[in-house]
Structures are given as structure tokens and as C-alpha cells.
Structure 1
Amino acid sequence: MQIDPHDRALLQRVQDEFPLDPRPYWVLGEALGMQEREVMDRLEALVRQGVIKHIAPVLEPERLGVRSSTLIAMRVPERRMDEVAAVVSGYDSVSHNYRRDDDYNLWFTLAAASEEDLAATLDEIRRRTGIPTGDVLDLPVVRRFKIDVRFWLEEERYGRDR
């Protein structure tokens, strides 16, 4: 897939310097010599092409009052997968709910303000889904690793060797 130089510059700016502004696409356009509508159209096209999955903030959980989180793996009978996944997805404290091809075939993250809230929510999910405790792996966060991934898209800005 070929990405034109304008899209490269836009992608680099969105990745590195997304503006915190009521009209971020206007600000991006001003910086890149584009109209606001052109910025939005280009980004929409990049999403349709699969270049961009989505644009979202990366939040610091602790600053939002989230003090406890865990990764849960469940062994869910195939015939109940949609039903159990729907229950799990119904919780605001759940993210990244996805299916895997494994014995433990439903994985999701769960976050809460405290260990007690986290345990209560997990107990409620177990109760509502009827998944036995022995079919639930609770893999709490022991240490958080922050990985800052950057894709170097503009040769002029970062050099060819990067």
C-alpha cells in the first residue's frame, strides 16, 4: 500500500502531537496546510483502508481513580460464548474483551477503584455467567510496563535510517 506524503505527514502529526483542542482537525490542518474537512476525509479514508484502527487517547489509570486492574481468562463452553461475552461486555469496568482459540477462550481486562471493587465485580460476573471459579484465571497486574511505540513515517523529519 502506498501512502502519499500528505497522509504520512498527517499520520506522523496525529501520532506525535494530536492537539487537545475543541477543533483538533482544524489545528492539524493549519499545521499541515490543509483544510479541516480534508484532514477529516483523509483520516476517514485511512481508517477504511485499514491503516488506522482508531484514534483514541492513552489514559493513565491512576489519574482517573483506577487503582486495581486484572486480566481475566475464562473457559467458556462454545455454545455459550456470545451470551457470556455479552454479559462481560456490559460492564463499564471491562475493556479488551476478546475471544481466543485456546482452552481459556474469553479474555478481558477488568479495572476498579479498589481491590475490593475489583473482586466484587469479578464475583458478580462469575455469578451472572455461571462460569465456575475453576474455569476463571485471574491474572492481576503486578508491574505495569509502558511501551511507547512510534512509527517513523516522514523521512525528512526523522531521516532515512530510522
Structure 2
Amino acid sequence: MHLDPRDRVLLQQVQDDFPLDPRPYRVLGEILGMPEREVMGRLTDLSRRGVIRHIAPILEPGSLGIRASTLVAMRVPEERMHEVAAIVNEYDGVSHNYRRDGDYNLWFTIAAADEEELSKTLGEIGRRSMIPSRDVLNLPVVRRFKLDVRFRFLEEEDDDGRGR
């Protein structure tokens, strides 16, 4: 996918130092020498083209009072997938869920203030969804790894427009 130089510099700035300001796109424009409207239009276009999925902060769970989290995999009958996913989505602690191929076909992450609250919520999801405990894998966080994943958008391009 071709990205023009202004898209590249914008994406790099959004990744590296997104402004904490009531009008962040105006500030980005000031930094990059673009009008606020252009910044917003470019980001909208990049989103529409699938280059970016969304812009969101990455928060430190402990600073928000979250002391327990887990990844859950469930074996859900195909005909109940939407129903069970809707139940899971009702809980504030669920950050996302997704369908996967294989026996365990519904996966979600959930966080809570402590292990007791997490256990209570998982029990409630199990009861409400009527998925037997033998069809639920609870994969709690044992050790947290923080990776700083950044994509390089300012590399040189070959003659065909692809980065090297």
C-alpha cells in the first residue's frame, strides 16, 4: 500500500508522541506544518484504507486499580457464538473478544480489581452462557511483558514505491 511522505510523517508522529491536548489534531498539524483539517482527513483516509485500526492510549492497568487479568478461551457451539459473545461483551472488564478457528473458538481478555472479582465475573459469564467449565480455559497473566512495538514509516522508498 502506497503512503505518501506526509502520511508517513503523520503516522510516525502519532505513534511516537500523540499530543495530550483538547485539540490534538491541531497540535499535530502545528508540529507537522499541516492544517488541522488535513491531519484529520489524512487519518480518516488511512483508517478507511485499513492502514490504522484506531488511535487509543495504552494504559498501565496497575495505575487504574486493576490487579488481576486473564485470557479466556471457550469452546462455543457455532449456533450460539453470537449469543455467547454478546454475554461476554456486557462486562466492563472485557477489553475485547474474538473468534478463532479450532476447538476453542471464542477468546477474550478480562481484567478486574483483584482475583476475587475476576473469579466472580468468570463464574457469572459461565453460568449465564451455560458453557460448561470443561469447555473454558482460564489462562491468567503469570508474568507481564511490555513490548514497545513501533512501525517505521519514514524509511526510504524503492523506485516502485515500496519501503526498503
Q: Same fold (TM over 0.5)?
A: yes
Structure 2: where are the runs of 5+ without partners?
157-163
Shift of 1:146: 0.8
Q: Secondary structure at the match of 2:41?
A: helix
Shift of 1:96: 2.0
- Residue 73 in structure 1 maps to residue 86 in structure 2: no
Question: Moved runs in structure 1, 4+ residues, more than 6 A?
Answer: none
The equivalent of 1:56 in structure 2 is: 56
Q: Secondary structure at the match of 1:71?
A: strand
Q: How far, CA to CA, are the matches of 2:106 and 2:2 in structure 1?
A: 36
The equivalent of 2:37 in structure 1 is: 37
Amino acid at match of 2:32: L
Amino acid at match of 1:23: R
Q: For residues 15-30 of structure 1, what are the structure 2 equivalents within 5 Å? A: 15-30=15-30
Shift of 1:153: 1.4
Q: How far, CA to CA, are the matches of 1:89 and 1:102 in structure 2?
A: 21
Shift of 1:155: 3.5
Amino acid at match of 2:53: K
- Residue 154 in structure 1 maps to residue 154 in structure 2: yes
Structure 1: where are the runs of 5+ without partners?
157-161
Q: How far, CA to CA, are the matches of 2:128 and 2:9 in structure 1?
A: 48
Q: How far, CA to CA, are the matches of 2:59 and 2:96 in structure 1?
A: 15
The equivalent of 2:160 in structure 1 is: none
Coordinate RMSD, CA, aligned: 1.4
- Residue 13 in structure 1 maps to residue 10 in structure 2: no
The equivalent of 2:159 in structure 1 is: none
The equivalent of 1:138 in structure 2 is: 138
Q: Secondary structure at the match of 1:155?
A: coil
Amino acid at match of 1:112: A
Q: Deviations over 1:104-147 (max 9, x none)?
A: 11000110000000000000000100011111110000001111
- Kindly tell me the number of residue pairs found equivalent between the two proteins: 158
